[in-house]
Structure 1
Amino acid sequence: ENGIKDCSDGSDECPPDSTKDTVFSSPFEMIGNRVFRVILWIMGGISLLGNTAVCVMSIMQVRTAKSEPLKVAFLWLVANLSVSDLLMGVYLLSVSAMGSQFYGRYCYHDAEWRSSQTCSILGSLAVISTEVSAFTMATMATIRLFSVYFPVKMTSIKRATYAAPIVCAWCVGTLLGTLPLANYRSGYFVKSAVCMPRLFAKVGDAAWGYSTFIIVLNFCLFVYMACCYLVLYQRSRKVTKAGKSKSTRLLRTVAVMILTNFCCWIPICIMAFISLAGVKLDNIVYVICAGILHPLNSVLNPLIYS
């Protein structure tokens, strides 16, 4: 009636320029798997609400902790971490909302959607969120490590000591996220219906060098953070005078930090390296890594770092 057919009767009715079956989508739905649609809504909601709450509480606590510079430093780092993770929540909810808008007739909007500026911006938002979050967590690990080795100096930490890394994290993260937007022909965001950044690339693919750089960078940041926290625990164990219980609590906290980052990023990095070696990965691997593990840190960070 309105000139738009319902393509739920069969994929043969879809326009020839649409991708009828991609990693995430089906001819009828932008996010083909119903379970995955629910997971994206839940993760997006938790990320948005959780990070908003952490950001507000951290800023409120800054006012009551002015006499403790080190605590103020961590509160500002946590606030910035929550803002960067909040962007992932915006991305997840926006993609889910667009999927609902195209319900039952996605094939008629596929080509237009994946080549749209909105799709590229949402993909860019996901990269900015991930990279700023990673740089902020690395900064937090560094300051924590220094606070153990130089406790007296760090109790009077200067504002520039943590403000400069925060500004750099946002500048570098924003640059990395928006760089692909300068070349729309790279196809960095338009390969999947959910505009997810290309995590797994093969040598010679469009923007494969950029994808590899992002993966290697995040892998190095994870290794650095893991080393910082392991050294921090060993150092704290030697100097603490609070007994075994405090050492055990610290070990538990460090273990959770390392384990969550390991579960989120190491599988993605391993699969990316395997793909670079020329091995073809099943679509379900990409769905799990890009759609669940990639944004999972943004959901868990408010619980861990607050």
Structure 2
Amino acid sequence: MLWLIGLCSLLGNILSVIYRLVYDRERLKLGYGVFVTNLAVADFLMGFYMIIIAVADAVFRKRYIFMDDYWRNSYWCTFAGILSTVSSEASVSFLCFITLDRLIVIKYPFGQFRFNTKKALMCFACAWLLALIIGLIPLLHSGYFKNEFYSKSGVCLALPLTKDRPPGWLYSVLIFVCLNFVAFVLIALGQWSIYRNIRRSSVAGASKNRKKDLTVSRNLLLVVSTDFLCWFPIGCIGMMAMSGHAISGDVYAWAAVFILPVNSALNPVLYTLPAILGKKIAGDVKLHQEPKLCSKLGEKYNDIYNMGQLLQSLVLKYRNG
């Protein structure tokens, strides 16, 4: 499962970024194009984290009990923990921006408010800076975290899914449970508002551009919904653990290697594949319509030419008396 999800996440997201940078550059001039591209970069980092854990699993298999201390306190484990934290928090930020962008587009269809390229770049810079700060704070404040924040488990995650109170557990609860839970509540409210506006527009009728915005919003609703289903269980498990419920090690392992990262592998399929298919269908329709259009233009040209010939002959007859 580690190898499968990790490789799917790596390949899917790098192909998604290449597609948007090379074949779909027009969308990078829009806010949601910038945010979706950066979401793919964040998911790519999660795939890299999965590959690091998969390699460690292969290297230390059948002798991990002797290497546990060495691995959890190694630079690679710390690096993997930072990658997963930065990736997850950047993903949350970009999902918030995606939801906000689609909500603005739906509520203000005449362009009163928009995320232009400059504003989108400022937002994505702030999102990455915030994610990096969150990931690096445990390394910068060794007095409080005691260099044990990312060495809590063999998968190098700092998720607060146990009753233990290791160094930095309060920081972990604030970030992975409270902050992410509040963010996804806001995302859920934003998506509900988008859904209501879509229903209203569907009933009232919509223009061609409006329908395009609604289609994009429906696709992104699926992306955000799957991310919500990914993080919501982790938040609930964390709150249960903090309230004293015993969480088994199997639940922690599945949350670390399946629930948390699986969305990184699914996102390219959810938002890039529909864009590629939609572009291909539009191209096929255009190619199908162009011969008919050329044929109609040719018929009109022939009619005009024949009419010109008729007028020329009438003028000659008039001049000749």
Bin the TM-score by the shorter chain. Answer: 0.7 to 0.9
Q: After superposition, where does 1:1-306 map in structure 2 within 5 Å?
A: 39-64=1-26, 69-70=29-30, 73-153=31-111, 157-182=115-140, 183=142, 185-202=146-163, 204-214=165-175, 215-240=177-202, 241-242=205-206, 253=219, 256-306=222-272
Contact 2:194 2:217 in 1 (8 A): no
Amino acid at match of 1:191: K
Q: Give the superposition deviation at 1:197.
A: 2.1
Aligned-pair RMSD on alpha carbons?
Answer: 2.5
> Unpaired runs of 5+ in structure 1?
1-38
With over 3 angstroms needed to count, the CA separation of the structure-2 counterparts of 1:217 and 1:155, relative to structure 1, is closer
Q: 1:280 corresponds to which letter in structure 2?
A: A
Assess if the C-alpha contact under 8 Å between 2:2 and 2:50 holds in 1.
yes
| Larger helix proportion of the pair | 2
| Counterpart Cα distance in 1 of 2:68 and 2:159 | 18
Cα deviation code 1:116-146 (max 9, x no counterpart) = 1221111111000000011011101001100
Give, in whole Å, the separation in 1 of the partners of 2:83 and 2:115: 32
Residue 206 to residue 61, structure 1, CA distance change in 2 (3 Å) = same
- Deviation, 1:187, is 1.9
Match of 1:7 in 2: none
* Contact 1:138–1:225 (8 Å) recurs in 2: yes
Conserved 8 A contact 2:157-2:256: yes
Which segment is superposed worse, 182-191 or 206-215? 182-191
Q: TM-score, normalised by structure 1?
A: 0.78
Instruction: Please tell me whether the aligned partners of residues 201 and 211 of structure 1 are also in contact (alpha carbons under 8 angstroms).
Output: no
Unaligned runs of 5+ in 2: 273-321
CA shift for structure 1 position 237: 2.1
Local SS of the residue matching 1:119: helix
CA contact (8 A) 1:128 1:174 kept: yes
TM value normalised by structure 2 = 0.74
Asked whether the 8 Å contact 1:230–1:254 carries over to 2, the reply is: no
Name the CA distance, whole Å, in 2 between partners of 1:63 and 1:44: 27
- 1:135–1:169 Cα contact (<8 Å) kept: yes
Tell me the alpha carbon deviations over residues 223-262 of structure 1, each in whole angstroms, 9 at most, x when there is no partner.
111111110121122234249xx79978964663354123
**Residue type matched to 1:172 in 2?**
L
Structure 1 residues 204 and 284, CA, compared in 2 at 3 Å: closer, same or farther?
closer
2:39 partner letter? L
Matched positions, count: 262
Post-superposition offset of 1:58: 1.0
For residue 294 of structure 1, what is the amino acid of its counterpart?
L
Contact in 1 for aligned 2:14/2:40 (Cα 8 Å): yes
